[in-house]
Amino acid sequence: MSLLDAEPLRLDVSSTALIIIDMQRDFLEPGGFGAMLGNDVSLLRSAIAPCQALLAAARAAGLLIIHTREGHRPDLSDAPPSKLARGGGPKHIGDPGPMGRILIRGEPGHGIVPELAPAPGEPVLDKPGKGAFYQTDLALILANAGIRTLLVAGVTTEVCVHTTVREANDRGYECMVVSDAVGSYFPEFHRVALAMITAQGGIFGWVSDSARVCAALTRAAA
């Protein structure tokens, strides 16, 4: 069934997956890495409730659900020096922070916010880069499950979400970005990033909101 009457994308729950990108404590919680860089984390936290609704609807419909976390090995061997040098704040990746070492796998800040805790059996992919395909098993998991369509949520809209959607588009996947279930520290970046996805007849994919996507999932599951 169509998610939106104006869009050609049709929803088949047997070949659709929900991917929730990097909803991590270090990005969304006060005192985390995002806040330490001077960002207003409430702009990202606004995506939590829509993501919760998406999770509930996707689980009820039996969708494959995948969570990602950006972070690095404790020895930083998978983090290029150019990335370690960026950030502009007093702390960098790997440094001690209020939630453990910043963006290091296994540290408290690396974990997904409790409101969106993965259920047993839902894959959690640790990625060292921005895109969810880079140095992860995502492509293999999707291929083995026969997935053709991705519902995409998470943070941030213009960085990890956009990179993942662009990579998915090149691999032939149809992508639907859920506008209120993604977020950015920069509202203008969020607005423009969503507009870029649907430009020129859906150059990278489609955009809808959580209410309409959840309604479509509920109808599909009935």
Catalytic position from the list 126, 127, 130, 180 = 127
Does the active-site annotation cover 22?
Answer: yes
- Say whether 91 is catalytic: no
Separation CA 127–CA 137 (nearest Å)? 9
Task: Identify the active-site residue in 22, 26, 126, 180.
Answer: 22
Per DSSP bridges, beta strands 100-101 and 174-183 are unpaired
Mode of pairing for the β-strands spanning 100-101 and 96-97: antiparallel
Q: State phi, psi for 28 to the nearest 5 degrees.
A: -110, -20
**Pairing, β 149-155 against β 16-21:** parallel
Q: Which residues fall within 8 angstroms of residue 16, CB to CB, at 6 or more apart?
A: 63, 64, 147, 148, 149, 150, 151
Of the residues 51, 126, 130, 160, only one is catalytic, namely 160
127 a catalytic residue: yes
Positions marked catalytic: 22, 127, 160
